[in-house]
Amino acid sequence: MIRDNVIKILDELPANVKLVAAVKTRNVDEILEAISGGVNIIGENYIQEAQEVYEKIGNKVNWHFIGHLQRNKVKFAVKIFDMIETVDSLRLAQEIDKQCQKISKVMPILIEINSGEEPQKSGVIPCEAVALVKEIAKMSNIKVMGLMTMGPMFGNPEDSRPYFRKTKQIYENIKSLNIPNVQMKYLSMGMTHSYKIAIEQGANIVRIGTKIFGKRI
């Protein structure tokens, strides 16, 4: 089932769009089955869960961190992850820079945009995105590679479109500024219900859990 789901999704995705399998709460066997279907990027929300799975699967796949990253977990995160998609503050970026320096790594990151400007949600609000990118761009062990957003949750995925569109505009704006050490290459938007709309609005990374693995219990 899981394998077939992945094969079908990959078959339908445009060639330029990368699939991140959002694996929170899934076990190693489920994740291995997804990998057998062609998944090559694992998206993890939790550091401890990632450590357990990483021990068994290792770096034959790429690892993206897609959850809310606490600064006291950064030293573990930088060892496992190939990209951190959810950087939304200078303090978090400074800690990533510091911990990466210690292990001589340059961490590709995405800036998480709170595109719905929801107070309880992670992400930098749109009007502060450029200033944040300019500051992080000065850090030598971080490479800004694009943007990520969740957007508000709706029953009707079509309602997500304005938030994806807004994030794409921020992405194009930052790209046009040609900030040194910043490359706007990846735009990570869309989940099971919304990824088709996100792709129409310019996403080239989609993060899918439920459609691969079934409902989370």
Per CB under 6 A, residues contacting ligand PLP are 22, 24, 45, 66, 150, 191-192, 207-211
Q: Which long-range contacts (CB under 8 A, 24 or more apart) does 23-30 make?
A: 23/53, 23/209, 23/213, 24/49, 24/67, 24/209, 24/216, 25/49, 25/216, 25/217, 26/209, 26/213, 28/53, 28/56, 28/57, 30/2, 30/213
Q: Which two tokens stand for residue 202?
A: 């310019």
166 vs 207, which CB is nearer to ligand PLP? 207
CB of 213 to ligand PLP, least distance (A): 8
How far apart CA 121 and CA 117 sit, in angstroms, is 8
126 vs 151, which CB is nearer to ligand PLP? 151
CB of 211 to ligand PLP, least distance (A): 6
Residue nearest ligand PLP by beta-carbon distance: 209
58 vs 214, which CB is nearer to ligand PLP? 214
107 vs 191, which CB is nearer to ligand PLP? 191
168 vs 207, which CB is nearer to ligand PLP? 207
CB of 191 to ligand PLP, least distance (A): 4
Query: Could you tell me which residues come within 8 angstroms of residue 152 by beta carbon, excluding any fewer than 6 positions away?
Result: 116, 118, 159, 160, 163
How far apart CA 124 and CA 132 sit, in angstroms, is 8
CB of 34 to ligand PLP, least distance (A): 12
How far apart CA 42 and CA 23 sit, in angstroms, is 7
53 vs 208, which CB is nearer to ligand PLP? 208
CB of 150 to ligand PLP, least distance (A): 6
CB of 164 to ligand PLP, least distance (A): 13
